[in-house]
A = this chain, B = another copy of it.
Amino acid sequence: MADVNKVVLAYSGGLDTSVILKWLQETYGCEVVTFTADLGQGEEVEPARAKAQKLGVKEIYIEDLREEFVRDFVFPMFRANAIYEGEYLLGTSIARPLIAKRLVEIANQTGADAVSHGATGKGNDQVRFELGAYALKPGIQVIAPWREWDLTSRERLLAYAEQHGIPIERHGHTSPYSMDANLLHISYEGGILEDPWAEAEESMWRWSVSPEQAPDAPTYVELTFACGDVVAIDGEAMSPAAVLAKLNALGGANGIGRLDIVENRYVGMKSRGCYETPGGTILMKAHRAIESITLDREAAHLKDELMPRYASLIYNGYWWSPERRMLQAMIDASQTSVNGVVRLKLYKGGISVAGRKSDDSLFDASIATFEDDAGAYDQKDAAGFIKLNALRLRIAAARGRKA
C-alpha cells in the first residue's frame, strides 16, 4: 500500500463517498481534503460541508463550477457534434475532466500527494478521473477504494457505515438505479436495465415528462449562435450555464432527450444505460442546423469523419491529451463563421428545424433555384465535371473491370 499523507477526495456528501472518506482516514491514516462541486446535478452542495466537518475534515472545497463546465467543456464538445456510438451525448464523460482538473489543482494548493474518487472498477469514470489526474500531475497517487477494499456489497458498505457512525439517509428518492447527473444530463444504470430486453419504467425518468405527458401544442424557440456556441435564446443573451439550464427546462417540458442504449465501455464490456439530455439534444439539432448554412461542405465533412474519434476520446477519458487538443484546434478553426439563428419546433419528444438564417450563410438561393438563375451557374459545366470524375471508372470498365 502506498504511503499517503494527504488525499483530495471527490466528495458528494452521500453515503458512498462518506464511507470512502472514513475508509481513507482509517486505511491510509492520512488527512482527507474534500472537494464538492456544483455541476448542475440539481442537488445542494452546501450540506456536504457539515458532513465533511463531522468526519473531521479540515480543508473543505465547495464550488459552483457550472459556468466553467458549460463554457469550457460542454460547448467545445458540441462544436464537434460529438455523439458516441451514434446516440450517446457524452453527458457523464464530459464532466470528469473538469473534476480531475480541480482535484489536481486542489492537491497542488493543499500539498496533497493523492486524489481519490468513488467510481467503481468496472466503469469508465475511474478511467476518466485517473487519466486526467495523471495527465495533469504525473506523480500523483490515485486511490480508487472500490478497486481496493472488501466492501464489495451494499450490505458490507452499510455495515461499515453503521460501525463508523456515518448517517444513512433513507430519503424519498432512493432509487434502484445507479445515477449520475450534471447540467448536461442525468443517467441511469443497473436494476432492471441489466436486461436489455426490458423496457425502462416510466417512473425512472426524472428530468423530462414523457412524450405522452408533454403539452399538446408545440413550443417554438430561437437560438442565436456565435462561433458555434449558443449565446442567446429567443433573443435574450445568456451565459453558457444559463443557456443550458433554459434548454433543459424547455426540453424536459416537451418530453425531449430520453435515450435508452447499450453502449461499449472502454474497459471492454457492453452496458445498458438510460439518459435524459433535454437541453443537449436541442443543442445538437440546432448546431447542425446553423452549420448547415454557414459551414463549407468539406469543412463539415472533415468534422463528420473525425467526430466519432473525437467522441471516443472524450468517452474514454482523453480530454486532457494532445490528440484531443489537436482535434479541438481543427474543430474550433471551423467555427468562426458558425453564426446565426435557428428556429426550432419542440413537440412531444421531437425537434424539428423550422428555420435557419445567418449573415454568414453560404446558402445562395440564386444558384440553387429551379428557376432561371441569370447565369450564376452554367449547367454545361456539369458535363465536364461528370466526365472527368467518371474518367477513372471508364478506363477501368474499358479494361473489363467489374464496377
Contact = CB atoms under 8 A, between A and B. Distances in A.
A234 interface: no
Instruction: Please tell me how many copies of the chain the complex holds.
Output: 4
A262 B354 CA distance: 12
A347 B347 contact: no
A301 B318 CA distance: 15
Interface in A384-401: 384-399, 401
A218 interface: yes
Nearest to A217: B212
Given A147-B383, A199-B354, A138 B394 contact: yes
A120 interface: yes
Interface string A208-231: 000110001010000000000000
Interface residues of A, number: 129
B330 A334 contact: no
Max chain B CB contacts within 10 Å: which of A264, A361, A397? A264
Contacts of A130: 386, 390
Given A134-B397, A269-B367, A325-B333, A297 B383 contact: no
Contacts of A309: 305
B321 A262 contact: no
A308 B302 CA distance: 9
Nearest to A271: B368
Contact of A194 (B87, B261, B369): B369
B269 A392 contact: yes
Interface of A: 81, 85-87, 120-122, 126-127, 130-131, 134-139, 142, 144, 146-147, 152-153, 178, 189-190, 194-199, 211-212, 216, 218, 258, 260-265, 267-272, 288-289, 292-293, 296-302, 304-305, 308-309, 312, 318, 320-323, 325-327, 329-334, 337, 343, 345, 347-350, 352-357, 360-365, 367-372, 377-399, 401, 403
18 contacts: A85-B292, A126-B386, A134-B390, A134-B394, A134-B397, A135-B394, A138-B395, A144-B383, A196-B357, A197-B355, A268-B297, A269-B364, A302-B323, A321-B403, A330-B330, A381-B388, A382-B384, A384-B384
